[in-house]
Amino acid sequence: GCVLNGKLYPFGETVRTEDCHRCTCSQDLIRCCSLFHTPIGYDRENCKVILNRQTCNYDVVQKSDPSKECTVYARV
């Protein structure tokens, strides 16, 4: 199997990690990819990016009032 974050997973198993990655265990390696898209097109002066671990998505919110979302024009 594969060991990830101190836990053993059998070959062929796919898991979602707490830091929002999907990892697949194979006999050769463990392969992980992110489950989120990084915002790149937003107002960087007035907004900040926060990883929402429940939805595995980045929230872009106003620096002055984090309860208000900012418009995101592009993600990668």
pTM: 0.67
Return the CATH fold of 39-75: N-terminal domain of TfIIb (2.20.25)
Tens of pLDDT, residue by residue over 5-62, are 898 999 999 999 988 899 999 998 999 999 888 999 999 999 999 988 888 899 999 9
Write a three-state SS string for 16-68: ECCCCEEEEECCCCEEEEECCCCEEECCCCCEEEEEECCCCEEEEEECCCCCC
Domain with CATH 2.20.25.590 in the chain: 39-75
